[in-house]
Amino acid sequence: MKTNIQGIKPYEADGVVYHADTCLPLIDAVYRKKLKFKALARHTYPGERLDQNTLGLNSIGYWDASEPQDWGLDWHRNEGIEFHFLESGTMPYSQEGKEVELTPNHLTITRPWEAHKVGNPNIGMGKFYWVIIDLEVRRPHQEWVWPDWVTLTKDDLSQLTTMLRHNEKSILKTGQRVRDCFKRINIAINTDENGSNASRIRLLINYLLILILDGLKTENIVLNESLTDSSRSVQYFLKELEENLSENWTIEKMAQSAGVGLTRFTYHCKQLTNLTPMRYLNIRRLEMAKKILLEHPKLTISEVAYTCGFTTSQYFSTVFKKHEKSSPNEYRSRFHVSKNICAYPGV
């Protein structure tokens, strides 16, 4: 088994660089021979390298775990739309905060902006497939661009795209046709030598997309056009911002990362938070700073400031005092004094 992640090329859109998940826990498990694994991939995804005949296909593969596992894939997003399929066994799976246990013939749909994880915390025993197709989008409002080798008719592809974009359904219970399709994908992956099965893989993915379209049609899905509104892209950005407060953000960089124009970003931010973007950023940073001040009393004020994304300790102290009516040191001291008082019996 060859796992090669060299020659990686991050995806860039609207001036923002996106990095694909590297699946390091999976790579480690393969090295430790915890499970069988085979994949064809590009960018940072593990597996043998895909050639130019399947541009837009980022990863296709499977793992087969026949013994208890000690690893899982924590919350992440993918560089494209991902379809998972469980052939056998059970698999803990979470998407956008909702956890389920997948059973045989479950197929999941994960759009590029949707956070998901496999395992709780460890994966289950089972045979698990995936296909990741790059649609050249990272936000809900952006128009999807399918690879040119996707040969569904214009009407079918338009209907599939609309059904995937205008609903949030993430799990389908499929049948024998989808199962057989993935088994054929299994054979194509296992017997591929330097792209020799590129045509077969392209045909199988097209067939899989038709089956997914058929499955969605039977679900009586209610479409919701608001799911592709630019406000939703800003909402996703603000959620992601919580994990990246220390970055050197400007309002221009925030708008770029959200994938919308500056005026539109400012408008949506104000609608969603009742604050201007920079005011919202500072408040979230201050909340982070307050937590660090109390949980890490040995850190200096400068260290807390830089950890939270403030450029200088002086600016941090000024903003903190204006918001909390006390300096960072006074805030920290007040907490520890009250904590000591409460430690005495009878107080």
Spell out the alpha helix ranges (H) of the chain.
24-31, 154-165, 176-191, 198-217, 230-241, 251-258, 262-273, 277-295, 301-307, 313-324, 328-342
Give the model's confidence band at 44: pLDDT under 50 very low, under 70 low, under 90 confident, else very high: confident
Alpha carbons 296 and 299: distance in angstroms, whole number: 6
Percent of the chain, pLDDT > 90? 86
Residue 76: CATH number of its domain: 2.60.120.10
Same domain, 152 and 274: no
Assigned domain for 4 exists: no
pLDDT at 259 over 60: yes
Kindly state the average pLDDT of the residues 140-155. Answer: 98
Place of tokens 């000591």: 340
Give per-residue pLDDT as tens, 265-286: 999 999 999 999 999 999 999 9
Q: Which of 170, 198, 226 is the last residue of a domain?
A: 226
pLDDT of residue 8: 34
Residue 237: CATH number of its domain: 1.10.10.60
> 168-178: string of b/e by CB count within 10 Å (b at 16+)?
eebebebeeeb
Kindly state the average pLDDT of the residues 53-70. Answer: 98
- ∠ Cα 235 21 32 (to 5°): 145
pLDDT of residue 255: 97
pLDDT at 160 over 60: yes
Kindly state the average pLDDT of the residues 229-242. Answer: 96
Q: Name the nearest CA neighbour of 113 among 216, 252, 228, 282.
A: 228
Q: Which domain holds residue 165?
A: 11-226
Same domain, 74 and 203: yes
Kindly state the average pLDDT of the residues 210-237. Answer: 96
Same domain, 215 and 268: no
Same domain, 329 and 197: no
Give the model's confidence band at 6: pLDDT under 50 very low, under 70 low, under 90 confident, else very high: very low
Give the model's confidence band at 288: pLDDT under 50 very low, under 70 low, under 90 confident, else very high: very high
Same domain, 217 and 240: no
Q: Give the strands of the sheet with 73-76, arranged side by side.
A: 73-76, 116-118, 91-95, 98-102
Give per-residue pLDDT as tens, 306-334: 999 999 999 999 999 999 999 999 999 98
Same domain, 118 and 190: yes
Assigned domain for 1 exists: no
Same domain, 169 and 267: no
Q: What is the mean pLDDT of the chain?
A: 91
Give per-residue pLDDT as tens, 76-128: 999 899 999 999 999 999 998 899 999 999 999 999 999 999 999 999 999 99
Give the model's confidence band at 220: pLDDT under 50 very low, under 70 low, under 90 confident, else very high: confident
Percent of the chain, pLDDT > 70? 90
Same domain, 324 and 205: no
| Model pTM score | 0.86
Assigned domain for 105 exists: yes
